[in-house]
Structure 1
Amino acid sequence: GITNQRETTVLWNRKTGRPVHHAIVWQDRRAEPTCAVLREQGHAKTIQAKTGLLIDAYFSGTKLKWLLDNVPGAREQAERGELAFGTVDSWLLWQLTEGALHATDVSNASRTMLFNVHSNSWDEELLDLLGIPAALMPRVLPSSAAYGETRPALLGAPIPIGGVAGDQQSALFGQACFQAGMAKNTYGTGCFMLMHTGGTFQTSANGLLTTSAAQATPATEFAIEGSVFVGGAVVQWLRDGLHAIKGSGEVQALAESVPDSGGVMMVPAFTGLGAPYWKPDARGTITGLTRGTTVAHIARAALESIAYQSAALLLAMSRDAVAAGGSPVAELRVDGGACVNDLLMQFQADLLGIPVVRPVVTETTALGAAYLAGLSAGVFSGTAELSSLWRAERRFVPT
């Protein structure tokens, strides 16, 4: 199984297998001028209706356009069919099969701003809008499928590739959130909250995205998603930018050395603000500083900023759920590196007013990829069996 950071964009030569430029990662904002033009031209509603996404440089389509427009000769090579585009999963599939397979799955494709999530196909109108030749695009398969096999020389034998999903959809799958209304939040570099909506394509009225969920069959499945661009990355900034800690594991003890943040508030908009605000030009702030403020107060405010941003997502998500005739999210399953921080998880539960549940296996992104591959290989019988395997390690209840 393969899982990957979504949206990160790679463009490579089909003959040599070499990229024509560095990969452009998901947080990169260089394509924002293109997005501004698309908004001004009034394309937002069409793009959201087809893709479920809002216009933002976060997604792959405008990154790919930037590569075609700025790498010398790239557009001409693309039009001659000499180049291939893919997110990191596609790049890995190409390398593992030595060019025999140019493919992706529906969950990664849905993050390009070029994919029609209703028909599970590349959208000709959107490709034309951004001037992207269709010959660049990979074949799209369900997340659990017989993709192919690795070349025998790479690993000593051909290994079947049976599961591919973007990291957040893979985590939703690994958390056994298979039913509409079930939600998870991944605390990684950013924070990504997804709520499964079953086969219903639901457009958010509260600044969230609609995305394809990992699909074990050709049938369409969807999720509502909120993306926080800077989550655990704020701890990295404390370590590498402020030099307040030597290792990320020190932040909880430092934050717990004071009873509260002392009135300090942090908005870590280092790369703008994602959902539900979508303010690409926003920048980070620290307010409430006094003569008595210490680095411990700043560390605590940094951790709390992760929870505050996630709380805004859940509030928006619950509003969307109620508007669609459902119930507010009743429980949040959590995973990712920062979910091991007990102080953060308890503060999150207190803010949300619902239980926050940490599973025994917190690396649910990798687990989801394994589950998808296992379904394809016949190791697991179906999602009912996978649901029975999920176990809680700790429940944080509001105090």
Structure 2
Amino acid sequence: MAFNDIPVDTLKRKIDELKRFLSISLSISNAHTVDFYTRDVWSTFMCVSPDDVLCAISSTHDRMRTSQPAKNNAAECPLDPNDSDSGSSFLSMLSLDVIEDVSPRVHPSQLSLEEREKRKRENLERKAGEGRGNIRDDGLFSPLTSYVTAETELKTLITELEDAVLVGLHTCGDLAPSTLRMFRAKQELRAVCSVGCCYHLLSEEFDQDRQGCVDGVCGFPVSQYLKAQACFCGRNARMSACLLPMESLFYRAVLHVILRDHYDCFKSEKRVGNVYSKASSFVDYVRRALRKLDLDDTKLSDGDIQSYHEHYSPRMNEMVAFNMLKVILAPCIEGLILLDRLCYLKEQDNVSHSALVQLFDPLQSPRCYAVVGIKESTV
């Protein structure tokens, strides 16, 4: 998704295309895992049953196997092809030349965890070896800790600051858009390189409660183009790239059913914290969570609690499949956030060059894209 210094009109067209796709899929990304069973999320979003899909795949496989012999026979015999397939004309729809060659290189997402760790370790060792001979100590690095905003006068912190580059590597939440606003406002900053992360901590201007916005300034959107469209993602969608372990999500969703059935306390905003990592079993998890929520856990016996686990365990595969879909959609959410930031830089009159650049290997750093901007020369 790396762009050269593309025209702003082209960028806006890309944003519009992405928004059109998200207008259909955003509701999937915003579905709360906690509500998975209480609101029957699986049935809500499933258009056709898995059995229907598998039958369609099997039927397609059979047609592909029979189409080539039919083609060969037709070449030898001057006959009109007759497609007997319940009136669907599948053979006439099948195009064998649309199959593309597949690269023998395995995509990173298909590698095993062990292979990914091995490649990561080898890459780090190689880079460490390359860098040993280039280490210099010029006394230029001087750590400084300070709370900064777009209004902060940087020269009060660094008196000799001039023609500086502002770099943010994995700046959390609203800090990433704040660096872009600071870059625009401070003449002494000549360039910016910003890699954001923790999108779930971004504040949104068009969120109903505008949670996290400081003095009316929010983290998304930052471009006037998306502000004019009142663009909104939602926290659940922004969290889709950093899901918890599957069993933890399953435990929390079943706990939500228990809260609905036995307690007058089952809003999805209720947080039980990091109970899962401390629990030895589902029963232990539920009791710890109930106590964390200041609820009476003695209302339920161990057998009552375990019966919920046994009832919903066969449906855990539904949650696995649904969350995998959310993970697949997550780069689209990230893409919209990054394109919004790039569009913001292109809207600034004093920025001569701006681009979206991939800096890191996504296996080592999933948040691997940098928004880069350079101001016009003052010389």
Alignment TM-score, normalising by the size of structure 1: 0.23
Higher helix share: 2
Higher strand share: 1
Higher relative contact order (CA 8 A, sep 6+): 2
In our comparison, the structure showing a higher alpha carbon Rg is 2
